[in-house]
Amino acid sequence: MSATAATLLQRIENKTATIAVVGLGYVGLPLVRAIRESGYPVIGFDVDQRKIDALNSGTRYILHLGDDFFSTLKADANFTPTSDPKDLGKADLVVLCVPTPLGLHHEPDLTYVMESTKTAAASLRKGQLVVLESTTYPGTTRDEMKPILDARGLKCGEEYFLAYSPEREDPGSFGRSAQHIPKLVGGVDDVSTDLAMAFYTRVVKSAHRVSTAEIAESAKLLENIYRAVNIALVNEMKVVLTDMNIDIWEVIAAASTKPFGFQPFYPGPGLGGHCIPIDPYYLTWKAREVGRNTRFIELAGEVNTSMPHYVIERTQHALNGHTKSIKASNILVLGIAYKKNIDDPRESPSAEIIELLRDRGAIVTYHDPHLANFPAMRKYRTNLSSVALTPATIAASDCVLILTDHDAVDYALLGQHAKLVVDTRNAMATVPTSMIKCEIVKS
């Protein structure tokens, strides 16, 4: 270990190292909290000045983190939010938590990773460790980031250090804060791994060392591909079993009684969020570089991306039973966040379903207790705002379409006042049968 590395290690061990977190969103902010609670001073960097202003004023901009989170950061003298990239030069560790979306043809879009790496490189100095947390394809840290950082003239592994540690955030899930989720850590060399491990073992409950950055990058993809494939499986079973008049939700509950060899996954209207609909395609794209096809992954993608159309089909069938067509029907969509109890609509299937309904002539409104306005999305634009969920609003709808099962929704109210409910999340199962006066169609 070089003298430079030894000095950085000492600063990490005695918690005098300053940590910069680049990207103050759904991944970066929980990491900031974990780092601060472990005792390190933190610089929070984001190019979005609105986030910096919100942090300086203690204003919440991510629902599930709560008001106390933002007020606590505002009062914390050892947390400095900034949009000035020169401030990254003051940090001993720079952790990149930026989006990795897809392009129009399902190709990886590393724009945010490359730009943030260039930003970090502009102030790179001896004794800094750079860590990428964004989900990406194997080789990104070594083959894409390292050349940019090397161009500063410092030697990796001796004068500066580089590692990968994938984020494992689960927004809105109780008891799964960043510091309680185990971390994978893999560097581009042994010394970089040593330093990153020294840091993460002091921030999170446990950290697992792997031999290379590529192992950590691949493991993160495997985690998300595993979920995508199993969700596709239950989505396909739902379609088949529904035609057999068999309740997929009861089937899953029954299978879940087996204490080994089975893990429950649940169907829905499609995939949403910043991970599951996107990350499998990173490996699909990279596989072609080595002459391989990922047929299993791509098949799962086909099943999952077909679900919004299946929801439309089921909604049309349910309306037909009430002598109505989708055209000119008033349809109230319940939930536009991609999962329950959060305010994150990224890649939400609700956006595509609403567009499909409108294309077929439906009059669409929506209610989401956590999203007052439908934000512009990667592929969709809409001017809708959330309507109040009242007996009158429900009764005026020809169909209520449940796409996100937020806990804050009064499902009994739906049961009492709706004409028809199409339920893609089994949310109405929480309502006693005696309180349901409408038809419920599971989709």
Helix or strand or coil: residue 81?
strand
Domain boundary among 211, 239, 268: 211
Assigned domain for 88 exists: yes
Dist CA 399 CA 326 (whole Å): 9
314: number of Cβ within 10 Å: 20
Rounded Cα distance, 254 and 284, in Å: 34
CA distance 427 to 417: 16
What digits encode the pLDDT tens for the residues 314-337?
A: 999 999 999 999 999 999 999 999
Q: Does residue 310 sit in the same domain as residue 199?
A: no
Q: Are residues 76 and 199 in the same domain?
A: yes
58 with 165, same domain?
yes
E strand segments, 15-159: 19-22, 42-45, 79-82, 93-96, 128-132
User: What residues are annotated to the active site?
Assistant: 275
Q: How high is the pLDDT of residue 214?
A: 98
What phi and psi values does residue 410 have, to the nearest 5 degrees?
-90, 95
Question: What pLDDT, on a 0 to 100 scale, did the predictor assign at position 436?
Answer: 94
**Distance from C-alpha of 351 to C-alpha of 116, rounded to nearest angstrom:** 29
Range of the domain at 321: 306-442
52, 184: one domain: yes
E strands along 188-329, which residues?
Answer: 207-209
Same domain, 169 and 64: yes
Domain contains 86: yes
Same domain, 421 and 316: yes
CA distance 336 to 377: 12
CA distance 257 to 264: 10
Q: Are residues 79 and 198 in the same domain?
A: yes
> How many CA within 13 A on the CB side of residue 62?
16
Which 3 state secondary structure label does DSSP give 197?
A: helix
Q: State which of 193, 211, 229 marks the end of a domain.
A: 211
Q: Which helix (H) or strand (E) holds 131?
A: strand 128-132
Q: What is the DSSP string of 89-123?
A: GG-SEEEE-----B-TTS-B--HHHHHHHHHHHHT
Residue 266 lies in a domain: no
- Report the pLDDT value the prediction gives residue 382, as an integer from 0 to 100: 80
User: What is the tally of structural domains in the chain?
Assistant: 2
Check residue 87 and report its DSSP letter.
G
Q: How many Å separate Cα 41 from the centre of its chain?
A: 26
Final residue belonging to a domain, choices 211, 236, 263 = 211
Q: Within a domain: residue 242?
A: no
Q: Measuring CA to CA, which residue among 344, 312, 308 is closest to residue 327? A: 312
Token code pair at residue 255: 């299978």
Say whether 42 sits in a helix, a strand or coil. strand
The domain that contains 317 carries what CATH number? 3.40.50.720
| Ordered strands of the 160-164 beta sheet | 79-82, 42-45, 19-22, 93-96, 128-132, 160-164, 183-187, 207-209
Asked whether residue 149 is domain-assigned, the answer is yes
Give mean pLDDT in consecutive 10-residue pieces for the chain, a chain of 443 residues.
95 98 95 95 97 94 87 93 97 97 86 97 97 97 98 97 93 72 96 98 96 98 95 97 97 97 96 85 90 92 95 97 96 96 91 96 97 82 91 98 97 97 97 94 92
Say how many residues make up the chain: 443
Residue type (1 letter), 174: F
In a domain, 108, yes or no: yes
- The per-residue pLDDT for 375 is 84
Contact 45, 21 (CB under 8 A): yes
Is 408 a domain residue?
Answer: yes
**Cα 248 to Cα 228, 252, 427, distances in angstroms:** 18, 6, 14
Q: Up-side HSE of residue 231: CA atoms within 13 Å toward CB?
A: 22
- Provide the 3-class DSSP secondary structure of residue 170: coil
- In a domain, residue 180? The reply is yes
Per DSSP, 433 falls in state: G
